Amino acid sequence: MSDAPIDPREDDAAVETERGERIAKWLAHAGVASRRDAEKLLAEGKVRLNNTVVTHPATFVTEGDLVTVAGKLVDPPGRTRLWRYHKPEGLVTTHRDEKGRPTVFEKLPKTLPRVVSVGRLDLNSEGLLLLTNDGALARRLELPSNGWIRRYRVRVFGAPDPAKLAELARGVTVDGERYGAIEAGLDSRKGDNSWITVALREGRNREVRKVMAHLGLQVSRLIRVSYGPFQLGLLPRGEVEEVPAKVLREQVPSEKT
């Protein structure tokens, strides 16, 4: 174990090969939390390495070390795995909710290892939510720079203007916040209700709802049908299905699987 400060001139890969893996990254790979949240756990003094509290993210973990978080032993990272989950509405995407609302993770099968979500779906949204045992992978797949498209089916109350929907492809500013290009097309309309397909690359907090409200449309149902190459398909509501390792390797080739 070593918690000496790291010379920024050192090559990260070479350092980790020689000295083990940085503890925040190790915790992320173990599915405890994202790398950023793992650093918060360190700062709060909740992490012990071989029964010694560690707070510096440049602490290294090597084979055979024992790591605990809040008194619970953490299993060493295994093979990176990814699951598709059909999230029902009425669940929050968090491990603990201060308001006592039911969470996604409370409803998952007990046979699953500890997992983190790739992004979130809000309380009233449903559809595809990716889950992984590797927090570092989750963070990577959330980044807009990977170019993955998030696609949604949206039911709205109101009269969508196809021209205004098309204009979203140039981006839009809502309440001072600039959103990137959004592909939106009217699928069907019956009375005061319409279905719209929306595709975007950023997926900011409540982005679809805010943009639709900006157009005078009230979202009554929001379903994510795909996230990058991964599709909701016919996965039943509330069910979880693991992405085959071969598919994960093909779609995220640089990650260890």
CATH of the domain at 165: 3.30.70.1560
- Longest CA–CA span in the chain (Å) reads 66
Q: Judge whether 4 lies within some domain.
A: no
Instruction: Say which of 122, 161, 187, 192 is annotated catalytic.
Output: 122
Residue 157 sits in the same domain as residue 194: yes
Three-class SS state of 209: helix
* Beta-strand relationship, 193-200 and 150-157: antiparallel
Residue where a domain stops, chosen among 56, 73, 90:
73
Full residue range of the structural domain in which residue 89 is found: 82-144+239-251
- Catalytic: 122? yes
Residue 119 sits in the same domain as residue 168: no
Residue 44 sits in the same domain as residue 160: no
Give residue-wise pLDDT tens across range 140-190: 898 878 889 999 999 999 999 999 999 999 999 999 999 999 999 999 999
Give residue-wise pLDDT tens across range 58-72: 899 998 899 999 999
pLDDT computed for residue 139 by the predictor: 85
Q: Judge whether 62 lies within some domain.
A: yes
Q: By the 8 A CB rule, do 146 and 201 touch? A: no
Q: Judge whether 24 lies within some domain.
A: yes
Give residue-wise pLDDT tens across range 199-254: 998 878 899 999 999 999 999 999 999 999 999 999 999 999 999 999 998 998 66
Q: By the 8 A CB rule, do 257 and 249 touch? A: yes
Closest CA to 150 of 203, 101, 189: 203
pLDDT computed for residue 18 by the predictor: 60
Question: What is the distance between the alpha carbons of residues 254 and 231, in angstroms, rounded to a whole number?
Answer: 21
